[in-house]
A and B are shown apart, each in its own frame.
Chain A
Amino acid sequence: LNVNVNVNVNVTGPPPVRGGPTGPEPPPPARRILHALLVFASVAFAVGLLGGAVQAGGVTPLEFSLLVLYALLSGWIALSFWTAVAGFFVVLSRGGRRRQTPLPAGSSARVALVMPIYNEDPQRIFAGVEAIWRDLEGTGEGQRFDFHVLSDTRDPDLWMQEEAAWYRLCRRLGAHGRIFYRNRPENTARKSGNIAEFIERCGAAYPYFVILDADSVMSGPTLVELLARMEADPRLGLIQVPPVAVNRGSLFARVLQFAGALYGRMYCAGLAFWQRGESNFWGHNAILRTQAFAACCALPRLPGREPFGGEILSHDFVEAALLARGGWSVVLAWDLDGSYEEIPPTLIDYAKRDRRWCQGNLQHARIILAHGLRLSSRVHLAMGVMSYVASPLWLLFLALTAVEAWVQSRAVPVYFFGDTTVPIWPDTYSFELTSVLLATLVMLFLPKLLALALLLFDGRARRGHGGLAGAVGSVLLEIVFSVLLAPVMMLFQSRFVFATLARRNVGWPAQQRDDHATHLFEALEAHFGQTLLGGLVGLWAWWHVPDFFWWFTPVLAGLLLAVPFSMLTSRVDLGAWAARRGLFLSPEERERPPCLACLDAAMAVALPPGASGLRRVLELPAAASLHLALTPPGAALTRRESHRLEGILLALEEEGQAALDRADWRFFLARREGLALWLERRWAALPLSVLAGPEPPQTQRQGQDRGSRR
């Protein structure tokens, strides 16, 4: 088996890494076959019932379209359902036990904790680094881990803030030479290019590296366990630890955090059950074998132009596929906790994030059939595509259903045929249709009940979710929440899919991660069209197919209530209100893990007043000196560059900071000459009045954190 696999690798992908895997973990075909059979059987059952109901009198093209769409969508639901069922039994059999792997004796492997960032909140970034650092120190293995903050930040003010925050943290932790920071002059190939630059610069120093997001936190024991697992199994190329959503206070985020904490582990266990050594990569909170990644994962540009060509936006799925192609195991460690992330606080931010992900996932449609990929990798890529394409398919399904209902409502029943005097009653298919409906509802809601059932066997989780009564109440409310959210997201995602298909590039904007309430105008701008559509469809249905109208009400309610729903769920006070009543609680709130407590403490540290990064650098010589120290001395300026720099300096002197655009700032700050000249002129031109101004915020004895004094 190993020989076959290696031959396959040589033919279809890059050669295996020297000293690489001795062969992938034997795939468990029985599990995959079982899972696939259950999914297909479920679809066949549901489509068979529906087909029986619609084929009386022949299948019209409209009915045939409905059947095809239903087959696709029920397959999507069944895949998720059977994954949850598998996860239920896996978790039930394993309980809360977590596999502990000892570090091999004599192991001295080092790990780089890599955090690619792009225009994020510097305070949150370095608070996260500090939390992980302190938690690692508690394990006694902290000296094995170095931090690399890889900044692709383009905003000059945030860039300067990052530098100051990084140095402040190094000073406070005594971590010089252990926490590194750099800002890339050009953000070529976005996040994957950012990581590639790190690998090519210093990857050989670290056998393993962990990728973190700007909002990620991982506990020290989990990181040490990941290292131990990688050391113990040379076939492992990547271990993904499912991140749990934490820390947001809005009602919207709290519901999602609750749902993730309650259902997430079960689903992940199910995924791991049938994926085993060919799991997926979610882009962060995962450890990777550096040699394997370097050999397999330098992503090519896709031919053609964006959005389907160009750089691969959602690199993680493709990297997992390439690792699997290279013969490396990719594992989902569902049994590990201590992996956290933060989620968008409002519905609109959630949709914005989806908009970015949508383009990246649809791009994968081109890669699904690429030569040499494993079948499971193709399934992952297809699942990613389907997670967005499902929305327009549901929209189409609903629209066709409404048309079919209208057509049926206009049909006049005929009771007498030919010369017969006995009326022939139309066949009814209420049993079949009710069965289809029930099967769909079971597939949608039974996993929630299974997750609740698991709480009966896990006291800690039960208490963490506010007890069984609190969890049941939260699940019921979460179902109402999901019913209202689903049609809104269906319309959002459908729009994103059509925009991508129309080749409208959506860019790669930074996220707004902090809690903030959605204002009326913002909500109207985002949801007015949805509400209008819901109103029009509702009136049409009420007028033309009144019997069908009531079946439509769950969808219509979501659309008609979109504006107040979006505004109310964005509120932090409602989130706190729910928490006080024991609703939407998660174990991480009840029993705060040490790394999250460290994060809270680090976030509570007040920033220096007037914390604008650019202002500090321009006004405080000490801050300017730090930036100069981080700017490598470059070649002498050409005449053209000198003239440009002179122009920038004059603009700064005469018109202030607002006169410069990002390109100007980048040019000015990326060269030592720029800031050095500015310092000369700035302080040479100082008016006497400055001496009568307030004292600087600190004396020479106070160390750090000088604020701007003007």
Chain B
Amino acid sequence: VDEELNLGVPSRRGWPDGVHLSAEVRAVAPQLLGLWLALGVSDAELRRQLVQRVLRRLQAEVERDHRPAGRTLAEQAVCETFAFIDDWLARVVGGVAGEPPDLMPFRAALLDGALPDWPLALLHPPAPGAREILLAAIPRPLPPPAPLAMPRAELRLRRFRPAAWVRRLLSARA
């Protein structure tokens, strides 16, 4: 794994860009490799770069002592992976007015391959047109609300009670 990630030949400070990765952070690299593989990134070099990006984010979190309680570092790394994707998506769809958009539909569209070469795109600022492509591909399960009231229909049943009829008949005769 170290070889694939080029983690085995860091400088004294870490990687060439100067970010030091602690052993603890480096230890979760296999999980991230597996995650990116499961996300469909089959290109080894691309996968390496993406893992490095996430590890750097994770390292920064660790150095800020931001360690959510009850969560292992590996779990935090997985979260950080999706946060990395969501941050990129937020930059793509940042133009949406009002409340911050729910990025889940965009993430679904992205991971489903709506944007060609999306793993490579994650390493760069969003390209023009990416927003339109993703907007056209996000799942839209429901149309805009247009409610129409349905008042409960009245269905008055006739009661079929032969015994009551007989009683009534007898009492009438009496």
Q: Which A residues have a C-beta under 8 Å from some C-beta of B? A: 13-14, 146, 148, 166-167, 170-171, 174, 176-177, 180-182, 196, 199-206, 290-291, 294-300, 302-303, 318, 322, 366-367, 369-372, 619-622, 625-626, 628-631, 633, 672, 679-681, 683-686, 688, 690-691, 695-696, 698-704, 706, 709
Query: Which residues on A sit within 8 Å (CB–CB) of B117?
Result: 700-701
Query: Which residues on B sit within 8 Å (CB–CB) of A200?
Result: 147-150
In the complex, B105 has a CB within 8 A of chain A: yes
Query: Which residues on B sit within 8 Å (CB–CB) of A622?
Result: 39-40, 108, 111-112
**Distance in Å: Cβ of A445 to nearest Cβ of chain B:** 37
Query: Which residues on A sit within 8 Å (CB–CB) of B113?
Result: 700-704
The answer on a CB contact under 8 Å between A171 and B35 is no
Of A366, A369, A630, A680, most buried by chain B (CB within 10 Å of CB) is A680
A566 and B96 CA atoms in complex are apart in Å by: 62
Give 14 pairs: A residue, B residue, CB < 8 Å, sorted on A: A182-B141, A196-B150, A203-B146, A322-B153, A622-B108, A628-B104, A679-B78, A683-B78, A684-B28, A684-B75, A695-B42, A696-B42, A699-B43, A700-B41
Among residues of A, the one whose C-beta sits closest to the C-beta of B38 is A621
The answer on a CB contact under 8 Å between A625 and B111 is yes
Scoring B residues 109 to 143 as 1 if CB is less than 8 Å from chain A, else 0, what string do you get? Answer: 00111101111000000000000000011111111
Query: Which residues on B sit within 8 Å (CB–CB) of A625?
Result: 104, 107-108, 111-112
The answer on a CB contact under 8 Å between A696 and B151 is no
Query: Which residues on A sit within 8 Å (CB–CB) of B171?
Result: none
Query: Which residues on B sit within 8 Å (CB–CB) of A695?
Result: 37, 42
The answer on a CB contact under 8 Å between A300 and B153 is yes
The answer on a CB contact under 8 Å between B143 and A683 is no
CB-contact partner of B157 in A204, A291, A303, A322, under 8 A: A303
Among residues of A, the one whose C-beta sits closest to the C-beta of B30 is A688
Scoring B residues 9 to 47 as 1 if CB is less than 8 Å from chain A, else 0, what string do you get? Answer: 000000000000000000010110111011111110000
The answer on a CB contact under 8 Å between B74 and A684 is yes
Query: Which residues on A sit within 8 Å (CB–CB) of B114?
Result: 171
CB-contact partner of B37 in A170, A633, A690, under 8 A: A690
Of A146, A180, A619, A686, most buried by chain B (CB within 10 Å of CB) is A686
**Distance in Å: Cβ of B17 to nearest Cβ of chain A:** 24
Query: Which residues on A sit within 8 Å (CB–CB) of B141?
Result: 166, 180-182, 630
The answer on a CB contact under 8 Å between B140 and A176 is yes
Of A171, A685, A701, most buried by chain B (CB within 10 Å of CB) is A701
The answer on a CB contact under 8 Å between A203 and B148 is yes
The answer on a CB contact under 8 Å between A294 and B149 is yes
How many residue pairs between the two chains, A and B, have CB atoms under 8 Å in the bound complex?
A: 200
The answer on a CB contact under 8 Å between A686 and B30 is yes
Query: Which residues on B sit within 8 Å (CB–CB) of A167?
Result: 108, 112, 139
Query: Which residues on B sit within 8 Å (CB–CB) of A295?
Result: 150-151
The answer on a CB contact under 8 Å between B158 and A629 is no
In the complex, B60 has a CB within 8 A of chain A: no
The answer on a CB contact under 8 Å between A691 and B33 is yes
**Distance in Å: Cβ of A326 to nearest Cβ of chain B:** 9
Within 8 A of A (CB), among B59-111: 71-72, 74-75, 77-79, 82, 102, 104-105, 107-108, 111
Scoring B residues 147 to 166 as 1 if CB is less than 8 Å from chain A, else 0, what string do you get? Answer: 11111111111101000000
The answer on a CB contact under 8 Å between B143 and A369 is no
Query: Which residues on A sit within 8 Å (CB–CB) of B153?
Result: 13-14, 296-300, 322
The answer on a CB contact under 8 Å between B116 and A201 is no
